[in-house]
Amino acid sequence: MSMSAGFSRKTPFHTEEMPLSSGNSRFSPKNLRKRRIIDDDAPKQSLSNPAARKYFQRAKRLRTPKIAGLSLPVSRMIEVLDHKSLQELLQAVVNTHPEVAQTISKIAPRPTLKEAVDLMKLKADDIIAHLPYKCDTESDYSYIRIKPYLTEFLHTLSDFILNLLPPMELNLLHACQTLDVITCLMHNLPNFTNNEFQYTRATAYEQIANLWFIVLAHHNGDDAAEPTEDANALHNVESLIEFAKTLEELDLVKKLEKHNEISHGKFQKVEDYVKAALDAYEQMNRSLNGSGSIFNDLITVDYSNYSISARTSH
């Protein structure tokens, strides 16, 4: 029997049963090229369908450009702030940029009398609100508790008082009304037995009384740099009449008497000045009623050494 029975004498791995390639194989180069052509044409064929084309157009329209977020405009930020938050914001801006303070001072509206009084009363109420409940109101402990609020109150009074001095305030009625409120607020403070408070209050009374005097003297013309000439006598008469009417309208003598009593004599100088001004007005009024010459009577009363009769007698 031959040893090669059942086996073919051909090169190994190259048999007729397992050919390397076949003309009908789907992986032939011809078939692969044809498949690529079909795949490339698929979208075009699908878009030729009206329904498919409408879908792709809609998907394209839904693609929106990317938009980045933005912070609120400054005007809108300010609009939503409450009073306290706005105040804190402005203070922070001034602290960061001190040069802004001058601009704010120029464009900010001048506070009205009511606004100024309301703020000062609010500062005074803060003192009362922070007094301890279970302790003597006038004790040292109570004073220590309210000391920061007392300091803020006094600073507020000082700011508004300086704003009343000429040339900042030219309205005597407005200035006197504000000073009267400030003086009354000082009266209403608790009478702490603490020596520091007693000294602080006495000093405050003296300063307020001095400012009363400065305001009144300015509006009465007593702070003029040069003595009044005869040619300005009529103007001085009119100024004195207006000044006296304001004092009477405010009933200032009675108010100053009360302030002087409560402060233990701190307003005596101001009280005497107002009384003297009203007495001078009464004397001038009587003199004018007794003579038709305004200039003659005014000069005789206020400048006796330079009266017309004294000049003609030489």
Residues 248-263 pLDDT 10s? 999 999 999 999 999 9
Do 228 and 188 lie in one domain? The reply is no
Task: Give the end of a domain, one of 164, 186, 208.
Answer: 208
Residue 272 and residue 178 share a domain? no
Provide the token pair at 275. 């009384």
For residue 172, give the nearest of 249, 281, 254, 278 by alpha carbon.
Answer: 249
pLDDT at position 25:
54
Domain count, the chain: 2
Answer whether residue 31 shows pLDDT above 70: no
Is the preceding peptide bond at 167 cis, omega within 30 degrees of 0? Answer: yes
The pLDDT value recorded for residue 137 is 87
Q: What is the mean pLDDT of residues 23-43?
A: 54
d(CA 33, CA 290): 134
| Segment 120-140, tens digit of pLDDT | 999 999 999 999 988 888 899
110 found inside a domain: yes
Answer yes or no: do 188 and 235 share one domain. Answer: no
pLDDT value at position 165?
A: 84
Query: Which of 6-20, 83-97, 277-291 bottoms out in mean pLDDT, i.e. has the lowest?
Result: 6-20
Mean per-residue pLDDT, 145-163: 94
Residue 182 lies in a domain: yes
Domain membership flag for residue 54? no
Residues 199 and 243 both lie in one domain: no
Q: Which domain holds residue 189?
A: 97-208
Structural domain includes residue 303? yes
| pTM (2 d.p.) | 0.66
CATH code of residue 119: 1.20.58.1590
The answer to the question of residue 91 being in a domain is no
The answer to whether residue 2 sits within a structural domain is no
For residues 113 and 204, membership in a common domain is answered with: yes
Q: What is the band of 233 on the pLDDT scale with cuts at 50, 70, 90?
A: low
Q: Is the pLDDT of residue 60 over 80?
A: no
- Within a domain: residue 47? no
Q: 94, 104 in Cβ contact below 8 A?
A: yes
Regarding whether 107 and 197 lie in a shared domain, the answer is yes
- 112 and 195 inside one domain: yes
Do the domain assignments include residue 215?
A: no
What is the per-residue pLDDT for 50?
Answer: 66
- Same domain membership, residue 233 and residue 155: no
Per-residue pLDDT at 230: 52
For residues 9-28, average pLDDT:
49
The verdict on 296 and 198 lying in the same domain is no
Q: Which of 164, 184, 208 is the last residue of a domain?
A: 208
